[in-house]
Structure 1
Amino acid sequence: MSTGVDRINRGVLALLGVLFLAAGAAGLALSLGAFGTGLVDTPVVPDTVRAFAAETPWFWWAAAAVCLLVALLAVRWLLVQLRTSTVSRLDLTTDPRDGITTLHTSALTSAVEDAATAIRGVHGANARLHDQHGDRLHLAVDLTEHADIADVRAELETRLVPDLRRAAGADLPVDIDLHPGRARSATRALR
């Protein structure tokens, strides 16, 4: 999910949270007599609205339809939040008449992680294939404390990425994040 959508989700949820918190606090203060004792026994729904609801048979059907619509929109929003852009299979088919070739991305990412971890100065690696306007591999590499960043970068760019593209049979875009000294900070945190 993009950072723009994440920001909007956080903003809307924070706004709704503040509104519901304010409404709950106002209702609690009203019931405890903070706004005067005359309002304590006042019903939440005015008499005219209650009378309209009682006299109009379609009112509760309309209210149920609105509640159902809100529930369906909430479920749809929740499903969108749970969806990730991670790809599970990579289609390598060049000509469907010759057959279909797919590659499980877990096999590809495991091989990339193993190859990256074998490079001197690399403590760990994490690879994920995402579908953001086309397939794209993201490789996060944790370096040791004394790793030569230039050597690791050159090894990744001249050996690992070309081997990956050759294996995938495509000019797959690769984003590489180098995290210097992360292994040292993780070791200190464990002590």
Structure 2
Amino acid sequence: MTVGKRARRSARGNRWGLALVGLLLVLAGAAALATGWGLFGVGPARSALVGAPIVDGLRRPWVPYVVAAVAIVVALLALRWLVVQGRTDTVGRLRMDPGDEGGTTEMPAGVARSVFEEEIGDYAGVRRARAHITESGVDPQLRVDLTLNDDADASAVWRRIRAEALDDLRTSLELERLPAVIRMSMTAPPRNPRRELV
């Protein structure tokens, strides 16, 4: 399973988990509200929230240990959830096509990404380029975030990326296809161009 699929599965699990916890809290709140309003009869509405048998049960010597064990389990589950949130679908290493010679050739994805960003960064009108190689090291995909000057020709930048930079990257990685998503945003020119050049 690729990292991207794991990230999507984690997001789906997050939605289901949050929906179930929210549903349980809504049901508990509705039940407490209905009891307080006397919808289940006058007796439950006027009775104490915690009865004497429950108080006596909580005074048993083993109760604090059970509470501590449950708290540890909940903390470990919460820690695992936080670790899962930190995962990204960015690929660390790219696996090159071994061809007829066999063996495995790998390269850091950061090297290919840096060369690609530098090439696009030199295009006219491009202020900043950030690229992310995602999905898998064997069949990668590319996400590009561009910040353009407000007077840049966005369509010309896009055509040049497609004709030059993407083709160069695909060729250097020995890939037949390299799916890419390019997001462009515009920014105003700097207030003090001289300071920007320093």
Please tell me the TM-score bracket, short chain as reference: 0.5 to 0.7
RCO higher in 1 or 2 (8 Å CA, sep ≥ 6)?
2
Q: Which runs of 5+ in 1 are unaligned?
A: 24-42
Alignment-derived partner of residue 79 in structure 2? 75
Query: For residues 148-187 of structure 1, what are the structure 2 equivalents within 5 Å?
Result: 148-170=153-175, 171-179=177-185, 181-182=186-187, 184=188, 187=190
Give the whole-Å Cα distance in 1 for the aligned partners of 2:144 and 2:112: 12
Measured against aligned partners, the alpha-carbon deviations of 1:118-169 in whole angstroms (never above 9, x if no partner) come to 112212101111228x532111111122212221111011111111111111
* Correspondence 1:142 to 2:147: yes
Farther off after superposition, 165-174 or 155-164: 165-174
- How far the C-alpha of 1:65 sits from its partner, in A, is 3.2
One-letter code aligned to 1:161: L
Q: Which runs of 5+ in 2 are unaligned?
A: 1-6, 30-47
Give the whole-Å Cα distance in 2 for the aligned partners of 1:149 and 1:66: 56
Q: Under a length normalisation based on structure 2, what TM-score does the superposition of the two structures give?
A: 0.65
> When you count helix as a share of all residues, which structure comes out higher?
1
Give the whole-Å Cα distance in 2 for the aligned partners of 1:93 and 1:53: 65
Q: Secondary structure at the match of 1:99?
A: coil
- How far the C-alpha of 1:5 sits from its partner, in A, is 2.7
Quote the RMSD (CA, aligned, Å): 3.6
One-letter code aligned to 1:168: L
Give the whole-Å Cα distance in 2 for the aligned partners of 1:51 and 1:121: 75
Distance 1:65 1:129, change over 3 A: same
Q: Secondary structure at the match of 2:59?
A: helix
User: How high is the sequence identity, in percent, across the aligned residues?
Assistant: 29
Aligned length: 158
1:120–1:147 Cα contact (<8 Å) kept:
yes
